Amino acid sequence: MEITQQAVSRQQVVDIILAALHDVLEGVAAEATPALDENTRLIGRSAVLDSMGLVTLIVETEQRLEADYDIVVMLADDRAMSQTRSPFLSISALADYVMQLVVEQSV
Amino acid sequence: MNDAVVLITGARKGIGRYLAEHYVRRGAQVVGCSRSEPDWSLEHYTHFCVDVTHEADVRKMVTSIHKQFGRLDVLVNNAGIASMNHVLLTPAATAERIFATNVQGVFLLCREAAKVMQRRRYGRIVNVSTVAAPLHLEGEALYAASKSAVVTFTQILAREVAAYGITANVVAPTPIETDLIRAVPQEKIDAIINRLAVKRLGRFEDVANVIDFFVRPESDYITGQVITLGGVS
């Protein structure tokens, strides 16, 4: 039951995160979903999510990476939490971190 | 339970096997797991050989369930091991083994199942504990401690996953005639039964009855609860 890794581009990862974030926001926000792009902040004062929303986004991103690309990653591990620059700062930072994990897995 | 997808750990024998047959009879698609293959098979039942302490294997199994059925509605964490011994005579390896299966295994299954369940904003998790914890049974310190951990874990999990429409509850059975207690001397079993309000061994049906209640769609307002059998409180 080995899971085969498939190549994924950074843009595809960004698209997955954006789609997941859109769905998460749609599920919690009463008002219209804000415009989302790579610079959208995920944590901090200008974040579009609360802490529970971030948990859901991380799980959704993991699930979609696995469903769409057979990529199995654990995004919120000890290493992610100890990074100087949080991988959950923005969509861009999260996409970079996913790509880093994917590259490491393929070595 | 029509069309519901139910995952039961420790399904090869005992309570797990009974529950697998019970939920197949009720129209569910049942997936079970255990470390070795069962010597039985059933229509609408799929078995995985998985050790619940192995993170990668647990993850692969839950992923397979999601891919095959597109959902997971119910998780029953029944797999568990016991080792009855005086604390002063218990090797550290035994403690590690008990906690790995009874606590870490439950955590891994709950985590992976809840990830899948949250996608449909619906899920029912039932973890199995024991009366050995509230009765503080001598000779079962590690087993009871591990099952106490399951209770606390479940109560906090219940709060963390409530927003996803997932409930998490605990059933704590009395001794039932299974392999777990077959090696226990009769006088010890009798002593336990004497401490129950209802003075008899438990039955598989008693456990299934509580789980049936927890997993009903109507039980969406019942979470973080422990139902102990036999009248123990």
Angle at alpha carbon of residue B180, lines to B179 and B185, rounded to 5°: 95
Query: What token pair was written down for A21?
Result: 């974030």
pTM of the predicted protein model = 0.91
Residues A70-86 have a mean pLDDT of 88
Mean local confidence (pLDDT), B44-53: 98
Residues in chain B with CB shorter than 8 Å from the CB of A56 are: 118, 164
Question: Across the interface, which of B60, B115, B116 has its CB nearest the CB of A3?
Answer: B60
Give residues with Cβ within 8 angstroms of B117, minimum separation 6: B72, B73, B75, B123, B125, B161, B164, B165, B166
CB–CB of A59 and B118 under 8 A? yes
- The Cα-based distances of B177 to A80, B14, B15, B16, B132 in angstroms read 47, 8, 9, 13, 15
Q: Which two tokens stand for residue B119?
A: 């996608």
CATH superfamily of the domain spanning A10-106? ACP-like (1.10.1200.10)
- Residue B13 belongs to domain spanning: 5-231
> Helix, strand or coil for residue B134?
coil
**What would the pLDDT profile of B183-200 be if each residue is shown by its tens digit?**
778 888 899 999 999 999
- Whether the per-residue pLDDT at A4 is higher than 60: the answer is no
- ipTM entry: 0.81
| Domain segments of chain A as ranges | 10-106
Strand, coil or helix: A17: helix
The dihedral over CA atoms of B156, B160, B165, B166, expressed in degrees to the nearest 10, equals -40
Burial group, residue A78, by CB count within 10 angstroms (0-12, 13-18, 19+):
exposed
Chain A, nearest residue to B62 by Cα: A63
What pLDDT does residue A29 have? 65
Quick one: three-class SS letters along B169-230? EEEECCCECCHHHHCCCHHHHHHHHHCCCCCCCECHHHHHHHHHHHHCHHHCCCCCCEEEHH
- Given a cut of 70, whether residue A6 has pLDDT beyond it is no
**In the sheet that B45-49 helps form, which strands lie side by side, from edge to edge?**
B45-49, B29-34, B5-9, B74-77, B123-128, B166-172, B226-228
* Residue B62's CATH number: 3.40.50.720
More confident residue, A50 or A28: A50
Q: Which residue has the higher pLDDT, B194 or A77?
A: B194
**What is residue A1's predicted lDDT score, i.e. its pLDDT?**
47
Average pLDDT, rounded, for chain B: 95
Domain count, chain B: 1
* Highest mean pLDDT pick, A48-52, A81-85, B28-32, B184-188: B28-32
Three-point CA angle B23, B196, B142, nearest 5°: 75
B38: pLDDT strictly greater than 50:
yes
With beta carbons under 8 A apart, name residues in chain A contacting B59. 72
pLDDT tens figures, B66-115: 999 999 999 999 999 988 899 999 999 999 999 999 999 999 999 999 99
How far does the CA of residue A29 sit from the closest CA of chain B (Å)? 14
Side-chain half-sphere of A97: how many Cα atoms within 13 Å? 25
| Opening angle at CA B165, ends B160 and B171, nearest 5 | 70
B118 interaction partners in chain A (CB closer than 8 Å): 56, 59
**The predicted structure's pLDDT at residue B179:** 64
Interface of B with A in 96-115 (CB under 8 A): 115
